[in-house]
Structure 1
Amino acid sequence: MSLVKFEIFSKIAEVGSFTKAADSLQLTQSAVSHAITSLEKEFELTLINRNKTGVTLTNAGEHLLFTIRKVLHYNEKVYQEAASLNGLSKGTIKIGIFTSVSMKWLPDIIKIMEAKYPAIHIELKEGDYFEIEQWLLSGEIDCGFVNITQSNQFDIMPLKNDPLLCIVSNQSELYNKPVVTFEDLKKVDFIMPSYGGSHDVKRLFEAYNVQPNIRFELMEETAIMSMISHHLGISILPEMVLDSLPKQLRAIPLEVNSYRSIGLATRYNLSPAGRKFAEITKDWLSGKEQ
């Protein structure tokens, strides 16, 4: 059985399209279609539903996808281990990232990786905490930056505690306060960050029994800051996203030390290329914080 067919099937599941899969793998669309037809004949199962709006996996396809990705992972790992035994480092590593990490950390880390291990190819996939965890579980990525949670599904290497700060405009009654209290938060309109997975702000409010007056829920930090700039409320955001804080806004500490804990989550049996990336990431952050 050809592993190429597995790779094609996995890529179609990832991008949801025969055409996009063909473009990504640099194959013709007919070659991709033929590979899936051949795979379905071998298994005597329909793996993909084809319709006018795109493609979806059948129940059988969903069931087999996880195992197929494990096969691809171990196939890649065999070649990486062999290269390692020959004193070489090469292979592909797929990494899940969220915006602030891609902006603040990844450029320097990737430069170091490319300088030290030019034969290791890095693929990035951007999402929120929940999406990254799901990609790890499904085998779509090898490792990913996450907001640390207690999980026995994968290994997590702690990296940074990123302070949570209250963002207010210069027209807010809180603007000149040295710290913002939870009582303060109950008295003003609040713009809630909206994303899947571990939610630092909601967890903070639950821990201290705060019921804010939520006016809007937005996913993009830049949109949240724009709303605050127009005096439509306040919010709480992690320090790492505040480099572009408009001059009319101020970031104020909360009355208790609050932060999101960022870590690198990895699948068990991480490949040699993945281990190299994890080591460089940890070393770079350690040097940055000294």
Structure 2
Amino acid sequence: MLPFPYLVFTTVLEQGTFYKAASILNVTPSAISHSINQLEQELGFPVFNRSRTGVSLTPNGEKILPLIQQIINTQSRITQLAQQIQGLDIGIIRIGAFSSACINWLPPVIQTFKETYPQVEITVKQAGFSEITRDVKNGNLDLGITMLPTKEPGVISQKLIEDEIYCIAPSDFKTENGTSVSQQDLKNYNFILQKGDYDWDTKAALDHYQISPTAIQFSIDDQSIIAMVEAGLGLGILPALALQKNTGKVQILPFEDAFYRKIGLVTTNAASLTPSTKAIIKQFQDFIKEKYPSRLLTI
């Protein structure tokens, strides 16, 4: 059985306060406080900073978080394996993905998976690329869909597809060659993009075309970028996956020199994955292979 203080530790971290954790675990706040005090006494150091607004991890608490999460995940795998031995396909899979993957990929993959494993619970967290990878590393997610290469050591990645990056322009925008965007076409234009994208392949494309950082504006999400471009406030830069359900009155133009971002799955050590997580990874691989035989996503 899982030591209760470990479960309390992760629940308090997720909820942010002892009171909310007590509500989730159906115990009193004093029981939560007692469990955390017991854990800190056994470890010999505080794991949480307490304040009126809630709690946060101490530096030592951050160090033990991956280990405690690993113990919890191991218990979950033991329980799931025991259930499979008894002929039961149940458990939980925690998936993290960025916005356009949540919109375009997760619904059909999860729907197909649930047809075979209806009792497996799936939770989805939408987040940025770095946060997804970090949560997989720390054991808070079982599987992540993110950009490659990852910047976090200790995770295993596998490429799914290359996603072409496009220039988004107003309907009256004209290019010199009539088909693709060149450096000459981009002079005197501002670019609108998400801040989280600027450190990845998007930045490589903008640098290649010598777009000055002073000509870059940041927006909230993909749809906001399209709306701003449609209003004539600048040019956008978005990958093909983010444009699958575009309804804006804009032009989607390839760059003269093509750029691609790599999208992949990130997990921890394969030996530590539950059977259900391995099964949904296979589901993702089959989905990509069938939908994109060339492993290249274009418009």
Query: Normalising to structure 1: TM-score of the pair?
Result: 0.89
Shift of 1:196: 6.4
Asked whether the equivalents of residues 171 and 231 of structure 1 are also in contact (C-alpha less than 8 Å), the reply is no
> SS at the partner of 1:250?
strand
Which letter maps to 1:103?
I
Shift of 1:133: 1.1
Which letter maps to 2:120?
I
Deviations 1:73-121 (CA, angstroms, capped at 9, x unpaired): 1111222233344444322221111111111111111112222112322
2:127 matched residue in structure 1: 127
2:186 matched residue in structure 1: 185
1:272 matched residue in structure 2: 275
1:251 matched residue in structure 2: 252
Higher mean C-alpha displacement, 26-35 vs 240-249: 26-35
**CA 1:25–1:220: 2 relative to 1, 3 Å:** farther
Following superposition of structure 1 onto structure 2, how do residues 187-266 of structure 1 map, counting pairs within 5 Å? Answer: 187-195=188-196, 199-206=200-207, 208=208, 210-212=210-212, 214-266=215-267
Following superposition of structure 1 onto structure 2, how do residues 155-174 of structure 1 map, counting pairs within 5 Å? Answer: 155-174=156-175
Quick one: distance in 2 between partners of 1:23 and 1:252? 52
Asked whether the equivalents of residues 136 and 143 of structure 1 are also in contact (C-alpha less than 8 Å), the reply is yes
Aligned-pair identity in percent equals 29
**CA 1:30–1:120: 2 relative to 1, 3 Å:** farther
Shift of 1:289: 3.0
1:60 matched residue in structure 2: 60
Quick one: distance in 1 between partners of 2:33 and 2:180? 60
2:287 matched residue in structure 1: 284
2:139 matched residue in structure 1: 139
- Structure 2 unmatched ranges of 5 or more: 294-299
Asked whether the equivalents of residues 2 and 75 of structure 2 are also in contact (C-alpha less than 8 Å), the reply is no
**CA 1:196–1:34: 2 relative to 1, 3 Å:** farther
Asked whether the equivalents of residues 215 and 233 of structure 1 are also in contact (C-alpha less than 8 Å), the reply is no
> SS at the partner of 1:163?
strand
Quick one: distance in 1 between partners of 2:2 and 2:83? 22
Deviations 1:194-237 (CA, angstroms, capped at 9, x unpaired): 1169512102233x262345241123111111211110100110
Asked whether the equivalents of residues 191 and 236 of structure 2 are also in contact (C-alpha less than 8 Å), the reply is yes
Query: Normalising to structure 2: TM-score of the pair?
Result: 0.86
> SS at the partner of 2:166?
strand
Deviations 1:168-207 (CA, angstroms, capped at 9, x unpaired): 012334499310013323431111321169512102233x
Shift of 1:163: 1.6
**CA 1:245–1:209: 2 relative to 1, 3 Å:** closer
- Structure 1 unmatched ranges of 5 or more: none
1:11 matched residue in structure 2: 11
Deviations 1:56-88 (CA, angstroms, capped at 9, x unpaired): 112221121111011111111222233344444
Deviations 1:116-162 (CA, angstroms, capped at 9, x unpaired): 11232212121110111111222211110011106652221222222
**CA 1:219–1:46: 2 relative to 1, 3 Å:** same
Higher mean C-alpha displacement, 7-16 vs 246-255: 7-16
Quick one: distance in 1 between partners of 2:76 and 2:277? 11
> SS at the partner of 1:195?
helix
Which letter maps to 1:157?
Q
